[in-house]
Amino acid sequence: MEMKPYEIMDAFWKNWTQSLSMFSNAGKQMEHLTLETMKQQQETLQKMEEAVRTMEQEMKQYSAQLNAQYTGYVKQLGGNPFTPQIEEWQGKWNEFAQQMQQFSISPAKASVSFLSQASGQLEDTVKQLVAQNQNQREEIQKQMNGFLEELKGMQLDLVKKFEEGSKTLFTAVK
60-119: per-residue pLDDT in tens?
898 889 888 887 877 777 666 777 777 788 888 888 888 888 888 888 888 888 999 999
Angle between helix axes 83-173 and 5-77 (nearest 10 degrees) is 180
**Under 8 Å CB-to-CB from 72, ≥6 apart: which residues?**
none
| 54 pLDDT more than 70 | yes
Cα(103)–Cα(49) distance, rounded to whole angstroms?
17
Average pLDDT for 29-40: 92
| 33 pLDDT more than 60 | yes
| 145 pLDDT more than 60 | yes
The answer to whether 38 and 122 have CB atoms below 8 angstroms apart is yes
Amino acid letter, residue 73: Y
Average pLDDT for 134-142: 88
pTM over 0.75: no
Average pLDDT for 144-169: 81
Q: Locate the domains of the chain by residue range.
A: 51-74+86-117, 132-166
DSSP code string of 115-127 = HHHHHHHHHHHHH
Residue 44 has a pLDDT of: 93
Residue 6: pLDDT band with limits 50, 70, 90 = low
